[in-house]
Chains A and B, each alone.
Chain A
């Protein structure tokens, strides 16, 4: 599987994601700078990493979503290439209109940095095939703006279409219906606030993130 990781000024989880992808796919991902207008040929998977792209200016993810490379990412997603947005990457994908809703300041205004229990709501997607539906897993979060909000109609639609991929099992950031990760309508774009790439080896204190990438590798390859 040929993978790419997008790098914005202020990304800081790009290398973590690259290490995780290399570990699981066996080959180094292409690191693609935000000014690029095209993705390398034959990319099977795109990761939009966490961090503080453009210093979170205006709104988290707002600037990155309008950068040249995101047009290429949007085109790739339109062709069915799986795209994952983790943490700031999730904010970027919502700002780019590739996922519904918005991520606002955490309800208690504090930066939340800890492992959180989650439930896998949908195990049928490209990204969650490695899990069982209803399974409880633990992934770390580290964010200030993870409070997922959308209007009631959108939330109902997401739930009805099985597009809520992950849900928090405790109160983390005030997200509507405790939503931690959502899929687009074609199911090939996932955005989530928790960091699966940070728990892929036993030395990380957990391996629950590993199955996300393994499941993806199996379904894509």
Chain B
């Protein structure tokens, strides 16, 4: 079973990388971009039966720094 963890900066935390990407997009002539926030995607290949609580624990203990980041877990259908 697989799960995806999306890690994003909390609202209000300045995102210098997002800002630079935004600036570069404008430089390329894309004028309709209001804001850019950059984050991370981590794919986990997990043993069957891994609980949500366990994945959340992984996020809190390592995958995200909850001082500045939020995380969202998405379970993927097994092919």
Q: Residues on A close to B: CB < 8 A?
A: 58-59, 62, 66, 94-95, 100-102, 104-109, 147, 149-150, 174
Q: A102 to B68, Cβ gap below 8 A?
A: yes
Complex Cα spacing A59 to B20, Å: 19
Q: A149 to B16, Cβ gap below 8 A?
A: no
Q: B67 to A101, Cβ gap below 8 A?
A: yes
Interface positions of B from 28 to 79, Cβ below 8 Å from A? 61-63, 65, 67-68
- Supposing A109-B16, A147-B16, A149-B14 touch, asked if A58 and B67 sit within 8 A by C-beta, the answer is no
Q: B68 to A104, Cβ gap below 8 A?
A: yes
Chain B residues positioned under 8 Å from A149 (CB to CB): 13-14, 67-68
Q: Residues on B close to A: CB < 8 A?
A: 13-14, 16-17, 20, 61-63, 65, 67-68
Contacts beyond the supplied A102-B65, A149-B14, A149-B67: 6 A-B pairs with Cβ under 8 Å: A62-B65, A100-B67, A104-B13, A109-B20, A150-B67, A174-B14
Q: Which residue of B lies closest to A59 (CB)?
A: B65
Complex Cα spacing A174 to B61, Å: 27
Q: B16 to A58, Cβ gap below 8 A?
A: no
Q: Which residue of A lies closest to B42 (CB)?
A: A58
| Interface-central residue, A59, A107, A108, A150, by most chain B CB under 10 Å | A59
Q: A105 to B62, Cβ gap below 8 A?
A: no
Chain B residues positioned under 8 Å from A95 (CB to CB): 65
Complex Cα spacing A150 to B68, Å: 8
